[in-house]
Amino acid sequence: MRISVVIPTANRPDKVSRAVEKILENTIQPYEIVVVDQSQNNLTYKALLEFIEIGRITYIKEAISGASRARNIGWQRASGGVIAFTDDDALVDLRWLESIQSSFENTNWNIGVLGGKVIPLYEEKNPNWTISKRWEHLLPAYDQGNSLENFREGAFPATVNYSVYRSLLEKFGGFDENIGPHAGRKIQIPGEDAELALRLKKSGFNIIYDPNCVVYHPIPLHRQSLEFLNKSVLGEGARSAFLDIKANPNSIIHLIALLKSITKYFYLGLAKLVGAKNDEDLCYLYGRILVLFKCGFLKQDYSSL
């Protein structure tokens, strides 16, 4: 089985070189590693030059930003039958590729997307703040247990640990470039990974969780704060609105959803005045309201956010 690994990166030369090293330390080797670099300088190229010169990676320089765009460029350039995505700051387990291969060879599943555990590595622990279980996936972090099974209802793999047949990416058009991390936008709409997985699931494919498919993700101190959480939860609300708009382009439906969200936001705001702690829910609703109004009702392009 030919497994191509795709890594988007931007302005993190030291981290992406370490990510490549961990992939090459795996028990089986990838067919290829494709790095799509959206950095504003040539430091990433210099950091990867040793791997480039000996043919261990395919390096692509891309001027236009957007992680979803980078991933699409990466899989389109790749030659493997299975495309395994990870992040430039992630460290894959030594048996990551072996586990991916084993799961795709399991004929009991009609695999659409394969994911697994995402284990947080705290670079420094904030003793005064802990993220709630409800939002732990935003770090990112995910652990569904030790059974090979479908992802739980409402849960989907993240692109830090996300493998899919190349043929399905071709058939379904890859990632929606309207969403996903994008340096040029004030409001980030995450979830390009979940959106693609949802399309595959609706078409009858399994979204599989493999507990042996493990990726470790460093968690810097700045992610361990209420500011990070509120900003991330706002993005979750924006994503929910995006999915609603994509499912049904009817402006009247979006106006009704907008009015419902505004009403709920108003009541939660009143509750906060009397001491209820609901900043996260307010941020979520604000993200929904913003996208439903601008992109659903007014039909503005997502790049305007």
Domain boundary among 171, 193, 223: 223
Please indicate, yes or no, whether residues 10 and 121 belong to a single structural domain of this protein: yes
| pLDDT by position in tens, the chain (length 305) | 899 999 999 999 999 999 999 999 999 999 999 999 999 999 999 999 999 999 999 999 999 999 999 999 999 999 999 999 999 999 999 999 999 999 999 888 999 999 999 999 998 889 888 898 989 999 999 999 999 999 999 999 999 999 999 999 999 999 999 999 988 788 889 999 999 999 999 999 999 999 999 999 999 999 999 899 999 999 999 999 999 999 888 888 888 888 889 898 888 877 676 555 668 889 999 999 999 999 988 888 888 88
pLDDT given at position 274: 55
> Is this structure's pTM higher than 0.85?
yes
Whether 232 and 217 map to the same domain: the answer is no
Q: Pick from 178, 200, 223: which residue ends a domain?
A: 223
Give the model's pLDDT for residue 119: 97
Instruction: Select from 197, 223, 249 the last residue of a domain.
Output: 223
User: Are residue 251 and residue 167 in the same domain, yes or no?
Assistant: no
Whether 181 and 258 share a structural domain: no
- 76 and 58 in a single domain? The answer is yes
On whether both 172 and 80 belong to a single domain, the answer is yes
Considering the domain architecture, whether residues 113 and 18 belong to the same structural domain is answered as: yes
Whether 85 and 201 map to the same domain: the answer is: yes
Question: 70 and 112 share a domain?
Answer: yes
State how far the Cα of 138 lies from the Cα of 174, in Å rounded to an integer: 22
The pLDDT, as a whole number, for residue 269 is 78
- Are 214 and 156 in the same domain? yes
pLDDT at 164: 98
Residue 73 belongs to what domain range? 3-223
Q: How many domains does the chain have?
A: 2
Check which CATH number belongs to the domain holding 77 and give it. Answer: 3.90.550.10
